[in-house]
Amino acid sequence: MEAQRSVRLVNPTGLHARPCHAIARMAQAFQSELRVSCEGHEVNGRSILELMTLCAPFEAVLSFQARGEDAEALISALATLVEGGFGEHL
């Protein structure tokens, strides 16, 4: 099964270490493979270091692509995480 979704970063500081850690940690809780892309650059969504190379600023669009049995659930959880600003004060 495959799933994909694009979401806009709403947290003012964009994709820094803490949000990268949150994405990677969430991805590791699922079986599906995760790829994350921004502005044509694609990385492994389970790697904090690779995610940090995206350097995605406030209002950038992240595209999530998951492949595996729980792909839909992973994408849904990630969208909720990003749309909630990673729990940072908005």
Per-residue H/E/C for the chain:
CEEEEEEECCCCCCCCHHHHHHHHHHHHCCCCEEEEEECCEEEECCCHHHHHCCCCCCCCEEEEEEECCCHHHHHHHHHHHHHCHHHCCC
pLDDT for residue 89: 63
CATH number at residue 14: 3.30.1340.10
Number of domains composing the chain: 1
Q: For 29-84, what is each residue's pLDDT tens digit?
A: 999 999 999 999 999 999 999 999 999 999 999 999 999 999 999 999 999 999 99
pLDDT value, residue 90: 56
Query: Domain of 38?
Result: 2-84
pTM assigned to the model: 0.94
16 is catalytic: yes
The answer to the question of residue 26 being in a domain is yes
Catalytic residue among 16, 21, 41, 89: 16
